[in-house]
Amino acid sequence: MLQKILIHFKKKSLKERFLLVIGMLFFLLYLILGLILIFWKSIPITMEPKYRIAFGLLLIVYAYIRFTRFFANQNKEI
């Protein structure tokens, strides 16, 4: 399976590879931002802790949705 994905990745154009990297970058960005909001106690944002945790969880769920949709589209192309 991994070999199949690697071969498919090599067949992509430069534009498609760039979009793949950008997609993964934004997935990581949302995930890390959500984790920062949850675990960084002295963050310089004036929010109540319950709202900060809820917003962090929302960002993590959004990152997961982006991740699953991204790989669902990738698997359709293979």
Average pLDDT score over the chain? 84
DSSP readout, 6-71? HHHHHHS-HHHHHHHHHHHHHHHHHHHHHHHHHH-TT-SS---HHHHHHHHHHHHHHHHHHHHHHH
| Residue 58 pLDDT level (bands cut at 50, 70, 90) | very high
- The pTM of this model reads 0.75
pLDDT band at 17 (very low <50, low <70, confident <90, very high): confident
- Report the pLDDT averaged over residues 20-31: 90
- Percent of residues, the chain, with pLDDT higher than 90: 37
25 or 47: which leads in pLDDT: 25
